[in-house]
Amino acid sequence: MELNDLITETRKLLSLSQTKDALSLLKKFKSKYIENVEFLQIFGEVYLELGKVDKAFEFLEKSCNLDINGQYGSEKFFYLGQIIGGSKGIELIDHGISQLTTKLENNDVNDDVRKFTIKKLNQGLFAEIEIWMTDLCMEPEAETKCDELINQSLTIDESNPESWSLLTSIRISQQRDDDALQALQKSWDLFEQKKTALENNSNVNTTDNSQEISIEYVELIQPLITLSRFAIEMGQYELGGVIASNVRDIDEDNVESYYLEGFTNYLYVKKAQYDLKFPNYDAEIFDSFVIDPKLDGFKENLKQSRENLLQVLKISSQFDVDDDILNHSKFLINEIGGEDDDDEAVSNINEDNWEDEIESDDE
C-alpha cells in the first residue's frame, strides 16, 4: 500500500474509533516506512488514541527530530507538546503554530492550501488552550491566554464549529453561563450546516456502506460527541440528545451516542421530577434524587432512554466498550426499570443477566 493511501485509511479507522485496527494496519508496513516522517507521526497518533503515551512519545519525538522545520506538517509538534505539557509543551506548540502562520501569510497559496493550513493552525491553537486550561490553569495569565487564543481562532475562521465548541468549554470554566449557552447553540448550528452540506455531497452516502464516506464527514463524530457532553453539562438535555442522535447518521453503531442520548432522556426525567418536589435546585440533593419510573407523564422519555441504553449493552457484546459507559448504562437501566408500567418485575441488570435482557427486549 502506498503511504498516502495507508495514512488515509488509518485516519478513517481512527475517526470510526477502530483504533486497534488502525494499529494493526500500520504494523504491517512498519519496516517499510519506519524512517518516514509522516508515517512516524500517524503511528504516534494511534498510540496516543490507545493511551500508550510512552510509545506515542517515541514515534512523535523521532518524527519532530527528522523534520524540525515542519516541511511535512506541524501537527507532530502539537501532539508532542500536549504529551510534554506545561511551559515546554507550549514552546513546542508555538513552534508549529509559527510555521503555519508564516505559511498562511504567503499570498501565493491557493484556497485549498489556505483552508488546510487554517484547519491545522486551529489544531495547534486548541492544543495550546488545553494546556492553559489544565497544566497551567493556576497561572495568573491563564484566562487571558485562553481568551486570546480562542479569539485568534475565531478571527481566522469564525465559521468553524469546533472553535465555538471550545469557546463553550472556556465559558463554562469561567462560569459565564449565558455566554456558554450562546456559544453552544452557535456551534451546533454550524455543525448542523456542515453535516448537511457534506451529506449533500456525492462522496457521502449514509445508507450504502460499500461507498466511500468522506474523511471530513467521519471526522465530525468526536467533535459532536464532545458538544453533546457540553450540552448535558449545561443542562440542555434535549439539545444534547439531538446532537448525540445525529452522530448515528454518520456511524449507526456509535456506542457513545447511544449512551449520551439515553443519559439525556434519563436526566430530563430526573430534572422534571425533581422540580415537582423541590422549589429550588440543590446539586447535592439532585445527585442523590431517585426517579419514579411509574410517575405519569414520563413514559416515552424513559422508554427512549431504556432503548438507547440497552443498545449500548448489545454493542458491548460484539465490540469493546468503555467500562465507565457500560457500567453506568447498566446502572441507569436498573433505575429506569421495566419497559411497561404494569411490568411486575423491574429489570435488574447485572453481569449475569444483561444479555438475556437485551434479547428479550428485541422480541
Residue 210, pLDDT score: 34
User: Is residue 179 a part of any domain in this protein?
Assistant: no
User: Is residue 309 a part of any domain in this protein?
Assistant: yes
- The residue-averaged pLDDT of 299-323 equals 94
- Given the C-alpha cell 524512517, which residue does it identify? 35
Percent of the chain with pLDDT over 90: 76
Residue 12, pLDDT score: 85
Residue 319 has pLDDT above 60, yes or no: yes
User: Is residue 123 a part of any domain in this protein?
Assistant: no
Domain of 7, CATH number, reads: 1.25.40.10
Looking at the structure of the chain, the number of domains it has is: 2
Residue of 316, 305, 273, 303 whose CA lies nearest to 291:
273
Of 55, 72, 89, the residue at which a domain comes to its end is: 72
- Given the C-alpha cell 449475569, which residue does it identify? 352
pTM score, two decimals? Answer: 0.84
Residue 202, pLDDT score: 57
Residue 213, pLDDT score: 59
- Render pLDDT for 39-55 as a digit per residue (tens, 0 to 9): 999 999 999 999 999 99
Helix axis angle, 177-199 to 161-173, nearest 10°:
160
pLDDT band at 35 (very low <50, low <70, confident <90, very high): very high
- The residue-averaged pLDDT of 1-7 equals 91
pLDDT band at 280 (very low <50, low <70, confident <90, very high): very high
Residue 346, pLDDT score: 37
DSSP H helical ranges for 134-176: 142-156, 161-173
- Render pLDDT for 172-227 as a digit per residue (tens, 0 to 9): 999 999 999 999 999 999 999 999 999 987 555 544 443 355 788 989 999 999 99
User: Is residue 26 a part of any domain in this protein?
Assistant: yes
Percent of the chain with pLDDT over 70: 89
And the C-alpha cell for 297? 407523564
Provide the residue range defining the domain that includes 323: 253-340
Residue 59 has pLDDT above 60, yes or no: yes
Instruction: Compute the mean pLDDT over every residue in the chain, rounded to the nearest whole number.
Output: 89
User: Is residue 182 a part of any domain in this protein?
Assistant: no
Supply the DSSP symbol for 324. H
- Render pLDDT for 209-221 as a digit per residue (tens, 0 to 9): 433 557 889 899 9
The span from the CA of 355 to the CA of 341, in Å, is 22
Of 72, 93, 110, the residue at which a domain comes to its end is: 72
User: Is residue 318 a part of any domain in this protein?
Assistant: yes
pLDDT band at 268 (very low <50, low <70, confident <90, very high): very high
The span from the CA of 344 to the CA of 306, in Å, is 17
Beta strand spans in 68-218 (E): none
User: Is residue 200 a part of any domain in this protein?
Assistant: no
Tally of CA atoms within 13 A in the half-sphere of 240 that contains its CB: 25
Residue 353, pLDDT score: 52
User: Is residue 274 a part of any domain in this protein?
Assistant: yes
